[in-house]
Amino acid sequence: MSSDQDHLKETDTEARFEFKKEQKSSFQADKGLTEETIRVISEDKDEPEWMLQRRLRALKQFQEMPMPTDWPGQPDLSEVDVNEIVPYIRPDVETRGGVDDWTDLPDDIKDTFDKLGIPEAEKNALSGVGAQYESEVVYQNMQERWEEKGVVFMNMDQAVQEHEDIVKEYFMTKCVPPSDNKFAALHGAIWSGGSFVYVPEDTTVDMPVQAYFRMNSEGMGQFEHTLIVAEEGSEVHYIEGCSAPKYSAFNLHSGGVEVFVGEDAHVQYSTVQNWSKNTYNLNTKRAIVEKGGRMEWISGSMGSKATMLYPASILKGRGASDNHITIAFAGEGQNIDTGAKVYHNAPNTKSTIESKSISKDGGRTNYRGLVHISEGATNSSTAVECDALMFDNESTSDTMPYMEINESKVDVAHEATVGKIGDEDIFYLQSRGLDDDDAKQMIVSGFIEPITEELPIEYAVELNRLVELEMEGSLG
């Protein structure tokens, strides 16, 4: 590490994610996963019977499904033993469902989110904020003007009680059934926390709502569920951020995200994931898009030991569209296996997928994507572009797209490139007085710009700082 990189260590960015809090909780489930665990969690949450039954059914499916082990180049999941995971920790907070004033939180939790900069961001740029600590949402607030318009933004557990009809209809039924994959089934059995967002017809929520997920305890699993229902003609931008301090034992994050994009509605879902490098991040995210609707998935995957994440859009109605922008950054010991899935099930549907990945110090990035055009989805078009940047000879970059085209009146294009940082580009910048490290830094910032420009400025800055931190000391 060169000396002029040292300052990076001094920035608070690292400290902001790495600090640990002493583990304090009012209720903690035993390690492992049994029917009894599920019943205890469900009872602690005072859930209706149907939710308990859904959990138990999902548990059964989880137990019957095999681990995915035969995908080429996939992360090694042999360490992931759910019996070693503490699936449920209710932090020591008096108000179930979260307080709506930061000062009502216990000092250590408040301090956590202060360090992460969440209350500050809320003041400046957000319509609403939810904050999850371990398994429960501890803070939830939305500006009053949205409440008046009928917009709902609450934690998922509370929604089960207060919006039972909607949740019962949409929760892991039409979009992500537990049978989808082993970790969706696990999620269905032990989900806790997350957000419920409901946007009524023709309502545009003009500033993003945000949820922040923090795992603090060693060896825990976080399984939050996010359900977004955007009615006809509505518009909302949801942002999630994730982090955890690093422990020696592994942590597991297996979230579930379901988005229902109504006719002519527009939903943008942005994620900046910075899990600690002992975390397995195995999520299932999916949107169903009705006629004329538009879904946008923006993801930055920086952290975790292993990520397997392929946000999916099912373009169900005529003229529905999808836009995926993903960036993956894998450093030492990381395997970031990510991509996109789009099903074109109606005529005149459009999708664009833009993927950027960076691998260095033995890290591995995989792009794994599927575009399926069903028979009858005439005049559909899809364009996929994957670019990978590699820093050294220890790293690996795979691009594995799959295209299934059952309709002739379509326009399908896939393009990918892989390469190292151009010597000429570096030379150019050096001749303008930058040193080697700064030049590389600048090229990387330019490489990921398509992603950062989609995010509100605070997040763009955050993402850039994370990238800077990842690059620190590794260059030259």
Partner 1 sequence: MSSATLPANLSEETVREISERRDEPEWMLQRRLDALDALDDVDLPDVIQTPGRRWTNLEALDFEELVDPLNQSDETERVTDEGVHVLPFTEAFDEFDDVLEANFGKTVDPESNYLTALSAALFTTGTFIYVPEGVDAKDVKVRAKMNSKSLFSHTLVVTEDSSSATILERIDSGDDVEGDRYFSNLVEVTTGENSYVQYGSLQNLDEDTYHYTFKRGDADVYGTINWIEGNIGSRLTRSDVETELNGDSSETKIVGAFFGHNDQHLDINARVWHQAENTTADLVTRGVLDDDARSVYEGVQDVGRDAWNTSSYQRENTLMLSDESEADASPKLIIHNHDTEASHSATVGQVDEEDLFYMTSRSVPPLQARNMLVEGFFVPVLEEIAVDEFREDLEELIAERLR
Residues composing the chain: 476
Return the number of the residue (6 or 375) whose C-beta is nearest partner 1: 375
Strands 195-199 and 152-155: antiparallel
Strands 335-344 and 256-261: unpaired
Q: Which tokens hold the place of 465?
A: 């700082």
- Count of CB atoms within 10 A of residue 319's CB? 20
Return the number of the residue (272 or 390) whose C-beta is nearest partner 1: 390
Helices (H), 131-239: 144-148, 156-162, 164-170, 182-190
Q: Which tokens hold the place of 257?
A: 């995200």
SS3 406: coil
> Smallest gap, in angstroms, from Cβ of residue 12 to partner 1?
32
Return the number of the residue (150 or 376) whose C-beta is nearest partner 1: 376
Binding site for partner 1 (CB under 8 A): 73, 370, 372, 375, 388, 390-393, 395-420
Report the C-alpha gap between 228 and 240 in whole angstroms: 13
> Smallest gap, in angstroms, from Cβ of residue 293 to partner 1?
23
> Smallest gap, in angstroms, from Cβ of residue 180 to partner 1?
8
Q: Provide the Cα torsion 321, 324, 325, 331; round to 10°.
A: 180
Dihedral sign for Cα atoms in the order 331, 239, 7, 115: negative
> Smallest gap, in angstroms, from Cβ of residue 339 to partner 1?
12
Report the C-alpha gap between 403 and 444 in whole angstroms: 29
Return the number of the residue (86 or 172) whose C-beta is nearest partner 1: 172
Return the number of the residue (73 or 106) whose C-beta is nearest partner 1: 73
Return the number of the residue (56 or 410) whose C-beta is nearest partner 1: 410
> Smallest gap, in angstroms, from Cβ of residue 149 to partner 1?
39
Q: What angle do CA 331, 336, 338 make, to 5 degrees?
A: 150
> Smallest gap, in angstroms, from Cβ of residue 59 to partner 1?
22
Return the number of the residue (389 or 463) whose C-beta is nearest partner 1: 389
Dihedral sign for Cα atoms in the order 344, 338, 225, 207: negative
> Smallest gap, in angstroms, from Cβ of residue 221 to partner 1?
25
Element at 270 (helix H, strand E): strand 266-274
CA nearest 329: which of 351, 296, 298, 355? 355
> Smallest gap, in angstroms, from Cβ of residue 419 to partner 1?
5
Q: Provide the Cα torsion 95, 99, 101, 103; round to 10°.
A: 40
Buried residues in 375-389 as b, exposed as e (16+ CB within 10 A): eebbebbbebebbbb
Report the C-alpha gap between 41 and 132 in whole angstroms: 17
Return the number of the residue (110 or 364) whose C-beta is nearest partner 1: 364
Return the number of the residue (404 or 436) whose C-beta is nearest partner 1: 404
> Smallest gap, in angstroms, from Cβ of residue 4 to partner 1?
24
